[in-house]
A and B are shown apart, each in its own frame.
Chain A
Amino acid sequence: MSPALLEVDGVTKRFGGLSALNDLSFSVGDGEIVSIIGPNGAGKSTVFNVITGLYPPDEGDVRLRGQSIVGLSPNRITKAGIARTFQNVHLFPNMSVLENAMVGQHSRSKAGVFGSIARTPRVRREEAVIRQRAEECLGFFGKRLAGYRQDQPAFALSYANRRRLEMARALATDPVMMLLDEPTAGMNPKETLELRDHIVRMRDELSLTVLVIEHDMRVVKGVSDRVVACDYGRKIAEGTYEEVANDEQVIEAYLGKRHEELG
């Protein structure tokens, strides 16, 4: 197996006396789609927040291509190639849809104060590229975010489109790895299926590596190369969907100890 793209190595994160993550380790290989599942409070979103630099881990290390990224600010980690979405959608609500995506390109562009004031040809070209990239990323979702919608403020979008825009904005950061935090929450069954295809396309067409937190088992089943199951900040199972879904501990974590009637 080639060296993993992302390695989470023995990460512990405590909030006061509570261990949100407890010696958690897993890795994601290049081009893999890995799902993290687990009941409420299992520490799934905390993993994302530690990886993207929002919280520093108390112990352990996070490595991207073998390089530790612990201690880097979130914007550096984004520049290093990890993009993310949030569990509760966090857009820039008063910026237009296109502008939201254009912000994603920020770390890939470099126009400075004087260039921006003088609007030099180089800055103009860069701005055109930013715009084009942003439009491409919006176009990843077909017509959903295209056309007149591009000029609408983000808050005017439907819930599902907000989730899509958040993903488009993350795509616009030109990442190597995408972290999706419950991408299908709030979507109807049809939209959920559509999104499942999008996740697969991210890997197949954009050659991204995807780490996804998901509750909808149809999605987890449909996209995952591997599944990591967590409970109380610990990894309780890892493997293919079938392996994890039939794991005693996982079933116990979700449904409780007794499971006679459920077979």
Chain B
Amino acid sequence: MRAEVRIGAIAGVVTIFLAAVGLIGDFTNLNLIGEQVTFAGLMLVLPPLLAGYVATTPRIEAGQVIEATRARAAMVGAVTGASAGVVFAAFVVFVDVFGVERVRAIFLNISPVLMDFLLRGRPVLVAAAILVAISTISGTAGASYRVLPDAARRPLGTAVWVTLLFGFLQRIIPIALDQLDVERDWLYSKVTRGLTWPGAIIVAALAAGASVLKQHRGAAMRRAVSIRPSSDGGGPRLTPVNALLLLVGLAVVFVAPHVVGSVISEVLGTIMVFALLGIGLNIVVGYAGLLDLGYVFFFTLGAYSLALLTGATLNTFVGSSAPVIALDLNFYVAIPVVVAIAAFAGVLIGAPVLRLRGDYLALVTLGLGEMIVVLVTSPWLTPLVGGPQGMRDITNAAIGNFGFRDPKHFYYLAFAFVALALFVSWRLANSRIGRAWTALREDEQVADAMGVSTTSYKLLAFAMGGAIGSVGGALFAVKIGSLTPASFTVLVSIQVLGIVILGGIGSLPGVITGSLVLVGLPGLLREFEEYRLLAYGAALVAVMLLRPQGLVPNVRRSRELHEEDREQDKWAGDIAADEHVAPGISPLGEGAG
């Protein structure tokens, strides 16, 4: 019982934390389904629900997995939920007795709105009892979910999260439906803005149905696989079904901006800029294994050099509006120049840090990344790049009269460059060069001894990564049309690294997934703008704990994370070596390599 109480108490503290940072009080009006299911309510029941689920984790005793019986699970869940409820209710009572305003002086987000939501005008002890009851029920539900039979559990789980996701996407799906001229009032209410109850039920039913279907297909597929001879090489094949899916996917990609509207197209554009940065950084970090925390350098370099080459002007109210550099190149002429500059800069940056590894390299690149931010704001470069005011009148990369500043148009330009970068990155990874990078990453000294010039290939990784990153910067400049140093901070480096790590180091699908999650979700969920970094941190921690290899891992890199298993193996080998040698002559030499 003590374990359950402890888990429950932790959940209670988590709920208090959520309340204190405002995730409950600020969202009492964010309706997900009807008027009953709000985001605030979800935040209230989620911690005890998860606690109940966690508390019923099967135990392993003497090598046997022991799962709780249903009755026992319900009991454990109830205790866990109740203790979470008691902790949180105690907090509510305390705030009420002590006075909301006095607590608010320290915890800004513990507001009257929050207390109204929790108390609903009832006497505080009654409200506290109700909170404990809600928490107990949530805990029991979480625990019961664990012991449901598989056939029921998966559809239920899918139905719940898909429905909630639809509730969250209330700013996107209705707009898309409007653009397509589809009646949508049955699904999303205009009054509550969230899903209507009938709509929610339909969505849940469809999701559950899809889940059941998938389960059946999965079973059928497993049977088919076990029958089929395994000789036909791995990898996906172009069956008619796959080809159709590919075509549909491409069609969706192409019409997307017109369906989802300008606001979301803008978010998609940002996603693609960051995807480009991610693809570039992935070469440095993922392929060559060099931890670079100063990647904003190339982003900045690309943006400013494109601006200068294409005849942007300084962002001042007085003085001339003539271009700083009267080259006035066309965007498509300037891009190769930008790429060349960035590749050269990559070599320059790479050269001094060649001997550094791991944390030392990270620290030095962090410093180098900060340098460019200081440079663009410095008085010394103000005549060139406008200092804190920045630059404006950047080209819109027009072809004829078709400009790309409009988010719907920019989407296509960015898409083309992302596709190109993916292609380049993929080809490089699967070549002699990619092999050399992998060897370098796995064991630098041995790679050197096998004929791979570590110097050249490290510099090449910095150059290629820098070149792709600079294109990201250039597109960013086209997208917003003006530049200020405020956009170029160390946060960009961190965010791009986050994308690469979250998606799965060394994996191109991972980079795309990473940018969708880390750039797309915050962009779409504008209500949560203030909580973006909180959610960002939470997502990173969660992924690293639950899926350290990333969301869409590269097979090889995910293996590298299990190095200790192999060390064990090697150790076993060394024992064998010791046993084998003739007595008196030990093989333990001077430790080569």
Contacts and interface: CB of A to CB of B under 8 A. Distances in A.
Given A45-B589, A88-B593, A159 B573 contact: yes
Interface in B550-593: 556-557, 559-560, 566, 569-570, 573-574, 576-577, 580-582, 584-593
Contacts, number: 168
Contact of B592 (A41, A45, A74, A159): A45
Contacts of B130: none
Contacts of B82: none
A66 interface: no
A186 B573 contact: yes
Given A84-B449, A215-B587, A102 B592 contact: no
B428 interface: yes
Contacts of B435: 95, 99, 102-103, 106
A90 B446 contact: yes
B448 interface: yes
Interface stretch (A48-56, A138-146, A202-210, A221-229): A48-56
B432 A116 contact: yes
**Which of B435, B559, B586 has most chain A Cβ within 10 Å?**
B435
Given A94-B559, A113-B460, A215-B587, A103 B431 contact: no
A155 B588 contact: no
**Which of B432, B436, B588 has most chain A Cβ within 10 Å?**
B432
B566 A185 contact: no
Nearest to A103: B439
Given A45-B591, A87-B592, A94-B556, A113 B573 contact: no
Given A94-B556, A188-B580, A215-B585, A88 B450 contact: no
B313 interface: no
B448 A73 contact: yes
Given A92-B442, A103-B447, A188-B580, A111 B433 contact: yes
Contacts of B448: 73-75
Given A40-B588, A43-B590, A215-B582, A111 B432 contact: yes
Interface in B422-439: 423-424, 427-428, 431-436, 438-439
B453 interface: yes
A149 interface: no
A89 to B, nearest CB: 8
A65 interface: no
Given A103-B439, A155-B569, A216-B582, A181 B450 contact: no
A104 interface: yes
Contacts of B589: 40-41, 44-45, 87, 181-182, 213
B432 A106 contact: yes
A1 interface: no
Contacts of B585: 39, 215, 254
Contacts of A44: 589-590
Q: How big is chain B's contact interface, by range?
A: 35 or more
Contacts of B445: 54, 74, 90
Given A87-B589, A90-B446, A117 B427 contact: yes
B452 interface: yes
B432 A90 contact: no
Contact of B453 (A75, A103, A116): A75
B443 interface: yes
Contact of A116 (B427, B560, B570): B427
A187 interface: yes
Interface in B453-468: 453-455, 460, 464
A215 B450 contact: no
B439 A155 contact: no
B451 interface: yes
A78 interface: yes
A16 to B, nearest CB: 14
Nearest to B588: A40
B569 A88 contact: no
Contact of A181 (B432, B455, B577, B592): B592
**Which of A91, A99, A117 has most chain B Cβ within 10 Å?**
A117
Nearest to B448: A74
Given A45-B590, A46-B590, A186 B582 contact: no
A3 B592 CA distance: 29
A113 B428 contact: yes
Contacts of B590: 20, 41, 43-46, 87
Interface string A89-127: 111111100010011101111011100111100010011
10 contacts: A41-B589, A86-B592, A89-B573, A92-B439, A103-B436, A104-B451, A127-B432, A185-B580, A187-B580, A254-B584
Interface of B: 423-424, 427-428, 431-436, 438-439, 442-443, 445-455, 460, 464, 556-557, 559-560, 566, 569-570, 573-574, 576-577, 580-582, 584-593
Q: Which 7 A-B pairs have the closest CB atoms?
A: A107-B451, A186-B577, A116-B431, A45-B592, A87-B592, A78-B451, A159-B573
Given A44-B589, A87-B587, A94-B438, 17 more contacts: A43-B590, A45-B589, A45-B592, A74-B449, A75-B449, A75-B450, A87-B589, A88-B592, A90-B446, A92-B447, A93-B566, A94-B559, A113-B464, A153-B556, A159-B576, A185-B580, A186-B577
